[in-house]
Structure 1
Amino acid sequence: MTAPDPRLASMAPDELRSHMRALGYRTQNDLAGAIGVSRSAVSLWLEGKVGVPRPVAMLLRMLVAAQRRPF
């Protein structure tokens, strides 16, 4: 049996904050606009009141990984 892909897991608020910084999003509005959600949704994720949806977590992880890869 193979281990689950870590890109498919949900995301803790600290990881979300770290990925926001790595991708250059300074504010909740910046991230919200970039991924098409409300600022209040991003706020709830950062406060840990609502889990980051898996597709959003996966997208952010893939963007950070692509940014780190040399071309």
Structure 2
Amino acid sequence: MDLPPPSSMPPEELRAAMRALGYRTQADLAQAIGVSRSAVSLWLEGKIGVPRPVAMLLRMLIAAQRRAY
């Protein structure tokens, strides 16, 4: 039996990334990255995986933020 591929970013990491980047609501993050609020909601609930490009973008933003300080 084939298992689905692991999510590129688990919901807990997405929540932490939102906090680290200052996005207080799902709508804030959705608007910033150009997706629907419902997509963010599904990612946070673990119903669908965070697309790999989105995960990479958020990780790069966090890394850039850390270097800025």
TM-score greater than 0.5 by the shorter chain: yes
For normalisation by structure 1, the TM-score amounts to 0.85
Query: How far has the Cα of 1:70 moved from its partner?
Result: 3.8
Of residues 37, 47, 50, the one that matches 2:48 is 50
For normalisation by structure 2, the TM-score amounts to 0.88
Distance 1:20 1:60 in 2: 8
Secondary structure of the residue aligned to 1:41 is helix
Distance 1:46 1:15 in 2: 9
What residue ranges of structure 2 are gaps of 5+ in the alignment? 1-6
Residues 1:62 and 2:68 are matched in the alignment = no
Give CA deviations for 1:16-65 in whole Å, capped at 9, x if unaligned: 00000000000000000000000000000000000000000000000000
Percent of aligned pairs with the same amino acid: 83
Of residues 30, 33, 37, the one that matches 2:31 is 33
Matched residue count: 63
What letter matches 2:37 in structure 1? R
